[in-house]
Structure 1
Amino acid sequence: MSETFYALLSDRAVIRVSGPDRVSFLQGLVSNNIETIAATKSGYGALLTPQGKFLFDFFVYQQDEDSLLIECERGENGERAAELFKKLRMYKLRAKAELSDVSDSYDVLAVFGKDALSSLSLDATPGTTARIADGIKAVDPRLSDMGARVLLPKNALAEMAAIGATESDAESYHKLRVTLGLPNGSEELEIEKSILLENGFEELGGVDFKKGCYMGQELTARTKYRGLVRKRLLPIKIDGDAPAAGTAIMNGDKEAGIIRSVHGDGGLALIRLERISDDAELIADGAKITVSVPGWVQLPESAA
């Protein structure tokens, strides 16, 4: 039996950007290179404040020759997608680009499991993209171990049965996600505070350092070239009652990090690299915390 699972991600929204200036408009805003997005390649990136702090992260797909799709956080009551839409509209100015919220037209799915990519007939290159029915299937642009993203037209979930996928749930997806160390927007990244390189965006293909100017580029580049990364978002294992997100992780009387999210007995935490070591005893609200470093994470030599 195929080990392929799918989860409907009801907390995601889809914004369509169309028109002749759609690429140049986004290129000056987004941390990744929008010019590389094509029918066969999707991407991951972020919109930052002018000071280089996190506002939104999202996936970008080519819908057709005239349109791009941005898959983003919906927010509890749709507020995150509405804020992104408003921000994009504010920066559009005279660009020949049209914005529309097409969330009601799509179901956003995560497809995961050891057979996920083969079931979808996709190779293991992050971002590899093809059509499925009247929708889009793409290897997760961040990390192929996460499986794939699928945008299906509403009422087309039978396509998942056709590839032999078993229905799962969003929490199973998030448990896998945090094990792999992948952030999920504002769940783990603080709005107007978080820095991309502390949260894996370089290794996860969310930043292009050769594309030219974009909003917030200066801090992102300075962080990289001056070696200013002193914290990293890393997976944690929790032994004991799970602390709440926001709980400090202590190494003796010193703060070693902050828990950003909890899913089951795991989660993600922003860890101070100088405070962790093989013999560190980390505690958060009485629970023992074990930090792991995924293979894709590149730590500074002093912390490796």
Structure 2
Amino acid sequence: MGERADNRTVLEIAGNDRIAFLQGLVSNDVTRLAGRMAYAALLSPQGKYLADFFVSERGDTLLLDVHSDLAPGLMRRLGMYKLRADVTITPSPLHVRRGLGTPPQGALPDPRHPALGWRRYTDTPGTAPLIDWDAIRVAHCIPETGRELIPEETYILEAGFERLHGVDFKKGCYVGQEVTARMKHKTELRKGLITVQITGTAPVGTEITTDGKPAGTLFTQSGGQAIAHLRFDRAEGPMRAGTATLRRAALTAS
């Protein structure tokens, strides 16, 4: 029935204005959630990532599935934007379960990538985690909260949110929308997340170099591959991260 998703917190948004309230704040469209889940981010006015989360409906409430480290800050920021909106934002007692294969009743597919299976919200936690989610993430270049996704630093288009169905360019205004739209339509991305082949290991955060020149940063590693944030013009040849050697894998740039 699914293993527990450690380090996840569920928040509930209730009230008559809940959908309009969230729609004006986050990167994805939350007006069409019937039978589906959305992946979205809250950005700063400067367009930088603050938090990412899953949004789904449960009766007359919206559920936000967010990393536990970001949950208190997300609640505070949402509260700042509340003003006179008819909404309440509270922690939920629900637990997050996730798994692969055929989803059980009440589960919804992870909207980022089919390889990530499904998520479900229940009154009791699931079984002990056994699935190597990092291996799946690295193989498909999927960033994780607190690793590749860094508050006040990451730009969501460099992190692949368009590919991961985490941003909607037709939904209208939201916080940080102007910067995100400009990056999409008026500039060419010069850096972003890429899956690389790695020989050896190096700590997360190690600087990557090409011919001695800074090229990016190394992140999650698994099975001879790694996620790296790289300058695309310095990602074509051999690279180094500490004592590890890197080479660009198949084209999976954000």
What is the TM-score of this pair, normalised by structure 1? 0.78
Match of 1:51 in 2: 46
C-alpha displacement at 1:232, in angstroms? 1.6
Match of 1:164 in 2: none
AA paired with 1:108?
V
Match of 1:95 in 2: 85
Please give the secondary structure, in 2, of the residue aligned with 1:197: coil
How many percent of aligned residue pairs carry the same amino acid? 35
C-alpha displacement at 1:263, in angstroms? 4.4
1:208 to 1:8, Cα distance in 2 relative to 1, 3 A: same
Match of 2:67 in 1: 73
For structure 1, the residue ranges without an aligned partner over 5 or more in a row are: 122-131, 161-166, 300-304
Counterparts of 2:226 and 2:12 in 1: how far apart (Å)?
32
Superposed CA RMSD in Å reads 2.0
Query: Are 1:243 and 2:226 an aligned pair?
Result: no
Counterparts of 2:157 and 2:204 in 1: how far apart (Å)?
21
Q: How does 1:9-88 map to 2 (within 5 A)?
A: 9-38=5-34, 40-64=35-59, 66-75=60-69, 80-88=70-78
Match of 1:182 in 2: 142
Q: Structure 1 or 2: larger helix share? A: 1
Match of 1:127 in 2: none
Counterparts of 2:53 and 2:242 in 1: how far apart (Å)?
33
For structure 2, the residue ranges without an aligned partner over 5 or more in a row are: none
Match of 1:110 in 2: 98
Match of 1:276 in 2: 235
Query: Are 1:120 and 2:103 an aligned pair?
Result: yes
Q: How does 1:226-265 map to 2 (within 5 A)?
A: 226-240=186-200, 242-263=201-222, 265=224
AA paired with 1:150?
R
Aligned structure 1 segments of 4 or more residues deviating by more than 6 angstroms:
none
1:222 to 1:253, Cα distance in 2 relative to 1, 3 A: same
AA paired with 1:70?
L
C-alpha displacement at 1:293, in angstroms? 3.9
Aligned residue pair count: 254
Contact 1:59 1:70 in 2 (8 A): yes
What is the TM-score of this pair, normalised by structure 2? 0.93
Counterparts of 2:2 and 2:130 in 1: how far apart (Å)?
7
Counterparts of 1:107 and 1:267 in 2: how far apart (Å)?
30
Counterparts of 1:106 and 1:266 in 2: how far apart (Å)?
34
Please give the secondary structure, in 1, of the residue aligned with 2:78: helix
Contact 2:95 2:124 in 1 (8 A): yes
